[in-house]
Structure 1
Amino acid sequence: MKAANYVDPGKIEMRVDATRPVPAPGEVLVAVEACGICGSDLHMYRNNTSRDHLARKTPEGYEVPGHEFAGRIAELGEGVTGWAVGERVVGVTGFGGGMADYVTVPVNPFQLVRMPDGVSFVEAATTEPMADGLQMVRKAEIRPGENVVVFGVGIIGLGVIQAIRAQAIDAGRIVAIDVQQARLEKALEIGATDVVNARDGDVFAAVAAICGREESYRGVSANVPVIFDCAGYIAHMSGPPPLETALRLVSLTGGRIICFGAFEGPMTIDMMPIIHKEPVIMGSNGYAPEELVQALELMRDGKVDRNTLISHSYPLDAISDAFEMQCQPQAVKVMLDIREQVAA
């Protein structure tokens, strides 16, 4: 079996001699068609962040990443009922394994869901990050006219914007913040009203110019009640972590900050705005099972276009090139087409 093998930071390869997994009781074996490279996979690729739960070991000792994928059921484990070999499914795993010809998936509504007709495998491989976005938007409870800021518009942050627009939520300004121009342009294309490139200067001043400035005994802020931190903390990036800037930006009263982006280790930030402004800071980890289904229904009904977010596609044979491309500024979402072969 072909499978990716994560070796060390900056080094990932393909192996052709990995053992094909066997589904345990309560599992199915999925023949993978497409698998996305997630932001968390990149954190691991850069510096081993969360390696212990992002890569699944084969009997040979290969460490196979990939936790968001789509394919067909190839085999049923003991006791599995209600599913059939050949069904098109989305799989989500907690410990990788999807960047391979085959991967086992437990049968439960958090990790296995049927694909509707009219949705391609490539689109469906973005279901999990879309569901993540739906949960974040649900938690934020955006009220009519409220301005929104999204830090980090990779596949997750773009999914947040798509979730807001697809559900016809009556937001005010939707401001996307990133350091990559290609991603900011994509954010405008799918529904952001404004973009700010954090490399261009003072993010607070730029957002306040768009959304308005507030000042009282509580301090100074921009008029932004809702902030999604989809960037987290990337150790090699200069400047304050996005969460610190979010605390400066968030409204003087009633603010909500939803944190999703991974953190590459401890960080130091100014926490005093928490006392002054009393915002609610919520973590968001995953999704509700119904949001996996909702994400697929939005794709089927044409309310979100996930294909437009896929900037590059590579065969599994070119796994190293795929990861290197995902690190580049022009990449939005890099997809692995597992069944495609490198041209001779």
Structure 2
Amino acid sequence: MEGTTMRVADFVDPGQVAARGDATRPSPEPGEVIVAVAACGICGSDLHMFRNGAYRDQLVRATPEGYHVPGHEFAGTIAAVGAGVEGWAVGDRVVGVTGFGGGMADYVAVPVNPFQLVPVPDGVDMIEAATTEQLADGLQMVRKATIQPGENVAVFGVGIIGLSVIQAIRARGIETGHVIAIDVHQARLDAARAHGATAAVNARDGDVFDQVAAITGTEEGYQGISARIGAVFDCAGYIKHMPGLPPLETALRLIDLNGGRIVCFGGYEDRMTIDFGPVIQKQPTIMGSNGYAAEELVEALAMMAEGKVDRSALVSHRFPITQAPEAFAAQCAPEAIKVMLTMDRN
């Protein structure tokens, strides 16, 4: 690698990201490669951090200058190979996933293991490839939910993760009843319909239970009332400034009287208060989902290569790394789905 410095996005404080051009370029440790990043997405967890500092200790990687670099979902080419690394070479096109940020930079070190480094197939461009981790997350959530034939499904929060859940359901050929997207932003609801949702519910238009029940009908019993939803994917979590019930409480209202599943993925910005009574009454399974199986990274890329999913359509904005502040501002806007930082080197 030529030169000793690189460009990075620096998370300074909530609401403040700076573009730096003098960060120290990393060198590979044994068992690592250095990836020359082509594109890196702003994740929902990055946005939680940007709003109020949530998860900061898990989402940034410090440079020797003290810059705190976010970014854990990216694609690029291998620029250097560390000692003991086999099966990888300079120039290989790869998807990288890091546990503690660092991807919003010209170069980032990535450990060589199947959870963090996978090859990009021919025909998949770098922008698409940089969305691999989110699709793999969606594939794991769908696997965990064990959707039964004909079941109605609800997806709370249809940013890139919720949309990935919908794409995963369709790409795996799962036979569902309704797939209902729930959000407060119309642009995202429109995208959900375009990528496989059968109905869209805007939480700003009234009680979510009532809106969903108007689509699916209701069922009543000694356990209470449900909106005939077999599986709920909570990709919204808890956002402190959003009015109304936390999505998890609404999910408990929606879920079937028996055998319902709720998969929780969205980040929680703080503690929250909810009515937990339906957990006793309906006996649903509530499970967390954090990441993916290694084979789901490969499956996600294969789906892109085979044209089973359209990932590029989910990238609503692209900014060069030198405009990192503008990129984070754009990701906060209601029309944004996925904002991508690119490391154009021309």
Q: Same fold (TM over 0.5)?
A: yes
What CA deviation, in whole Å up to 9, does each residue of 1:3-29 have, x standing for no partner? 110000100011111000111100000
The within-5 A match list for 1:281-320 is: 281-320=286-325
Q: Decide which of 229, 233, 247 is 1:228's aligned counterpart.
A: 233
Any conservation in 2 of the 1:315–1:340 contact (CA below 8 Å)? no
Question: What is the RMSD computed on CA atoms of the aligned residues?
Answer: 0.7
Q: CA deviation at 1:221?
A: 1.0
Q: CA deviation at 1:340?
A: 5.8
The within-5 A match list for 1:133-148 is: 133-148=138-153
In structure 2, the partner of 1:335 is 340
In structure 1, the partner of 2:260 is 255
Q: Which runs of 5+ in 1 are unaligned?
A: none
Structure-2 separation of matches of 1:26 and 1:14: 29
Q: CA deviation at 1:73?
A: 0.2
Q: Decide which of 219, 223, 239 is 2:224's aligned counterpart.
A: 219
In structure 1, the partner of 2:109 is 104
2:190 is aligned with 1:185: yes
Structure-1 separation of matches of 2:185 and 2:230: 25
Q: CA deviation at 1:338?
A: 1.3
Residue 25 of structure 1 aligns with an amino acid whose one-letter code is: P
Q: CA deviation at 1:86?
A: 0.3
Structure-1 separation of matches of 2:134 and 2:329: 21
Q: Residue 238 of structure 1: SS of its match in structure 2?
A: coil
TM-score (norm 2): 0.98
Residue 19 of structure 2 aligns with an amino acid whose one-letter code is: M
Structure-1 separation of matches of 2:345 and 2:189: 30
2:161 is aligned with 1:156: yes
The within-5 A match list for 1:1-344 is: 1-339=6-344
Structure-1 separation of matches of 2:176 and 2:343: 39
Structure-1 separation of matches of 2:146 and 2:202: 26
TM-score (norm 1): 0.98
Any conservation in 2 of the 1:177–1:184 contact (CA below 8 Å)? yes
Structure-1 separation of matches of 2:196 and 2:345: 32
Structure-2 separation of matches of 1:114 and 1:145: 36
For residues 340 and 78 of structure 1, do their structure 2 counterparts lie closer, same or farther at Cα, with a shift above 3 Å needed?
closer
Structure-2 separation of matches of 1:81 and 1:332: 37
Aligned length: 341
Any conservation in 2 of the 1:316–1:340 contact (CA below 8 Å)? no
